[in-house]
Structure 1
Amino acid sequence: MPTDRHPGANPHEAELRASLQRSAAHTPLPGIDAAAVIRRSRGRRTPKLVAAGGIFSLAVLGIGVASVTGLQNLGSPFSGTAGSSQESATDSGLAAPDAATVPVPADRLNPCGGSLAPPSTDADITLTVQFPTEAAIAAGSISGQVTLTNTGSDRLVASSAAVAPVTLSQDGTVLWHTNGPMILSLATIDLAPGESFSWQASVLPAHCTDEATLETTAPESLPPVDPGLYQVSAAVDLSLPNGTVRQLLGTPADITLR
């Protein structure tokens, strides 16, 4: 029987081709089911097509994964470092406050053993202390008050710490100042011309050589001062509505300790 196979053709394709040629020549070939041969041929090709489709899907998936990874590597606008934030602030014209224009907080203004800061020269606000002119050293803490008075012609609106720090000094040298935990609250100040606002205060007739001694030693363990003439003064920080801070230092008042 002649095969008439083309080079590289599989047996079923060659058999189908021969069958078709005989059919065209009206020479029937019994026992060959052309439809079955075609089904078998398609059945062999289907796995190859599925495999190719799978490889294509994986390729697309790979592109998708690479794209996501690439986007992640581009970075996020929220993943900058502190350095870049500071640089942005500098580039935008923002500047850190000038340390020379920011006053030392009132409770740190007169450190132990240092020189007493001079009083303020504000003409429209005065800060005074009211303490006994004489007191016993052995009695311990001496009670008094600090008073802020609006001596100007405009209304004064501000806020301040709930405690007004006071300082005990002698001949311009700081011996003791208010220390310890501060009350975490604010005093609201709203004064018409001539009105006053007062803080309760106390002073301890003792002395410390430096800040470390004051902060690590119990008040009752600090050495008492000697009998003599001393001065008590106060300082407060006023936070104004425009965001600025106005610092006031009162004129020292004499107190005799015996």
Structure 2
Amino acid sequence: MSETEAPFTFRPLPERTFSFLEKTDTRELLTKWSMNGRLMAQVFFYDQYFQPYQKDDFVLAFFQDPNVVSHLKVLSSSGQWTALGSKVEKVDVKEVPCTQLSMSLFDCLYAENIVRESGYISKCLDEYVGDFIISDELRKVLLVEDSDKFGIFSPSDREQFIFLLFKHLCLGGAVCQFEDVVNPYLDTTKSMYKELLSVQKDPETKQINIISSIFKVLAYDENGMCYPSTQPHEQTFAYLIVDPLKRHVTVLYHSFGGGIF
């Protein structure tokens, strides 16, 4: 689909800011985790009604829109923020389930003694998985598939957006200083999750429902993958979070690497 045929058009909303990127206490944690200055959230407005089944066309239109090409920020290999600039030809779009309305998904960490009642994370012998050193039971249950307690989170639990956010924060960047207690990870996950998502009360059942759609995205130009990076990494990610009422697309982006302050 060419830009002229794209059914959706987008414009940036630079005035929309996020407290998890601006509050001093959160920034200090992100700095400790080697994510500050490498994590970005931007909001764009779109013009037409969107349904989740249109996700592929919607995301391709997003990356091909001139306003997105010139305003969507990416981190260069030299650590500089630049505009996307690429002519995107193809996208991969994966819908991410997002139904959790509380932090109860993580109660099993306490029940299985991965996290003690005090919040202290149980330690283990060091081992390596890719770029990550595992020295506690929390990172082991997140990363080591053949570990004893990997199954305390079901495959569907692990697909949930709140789980992915938590995992990203726990793993951090290239020079991450890990926490000894779990609370900073849980508290930051909760504050980010609440700020990124939109909810609505059902007028009949009075139940609160999440109305945002979440998509994990990759974009490709003629040379291959160009977004979120040319180099794939578990901790280099981009999610598009679509609010169908406000017609907002929030981009949550992170590029794995050393700290930028």
Common topology (TM > 0.5): no
- TM-score, normalised via structure 2 length: 0.22
- TM-score, normalised via structure 1 length: 0.22
Q: Which protein shows a greater Rg? A: 1
Pick 1 or 2: higher relative contact order, CA cutoff 8 A, min separation 6.
2
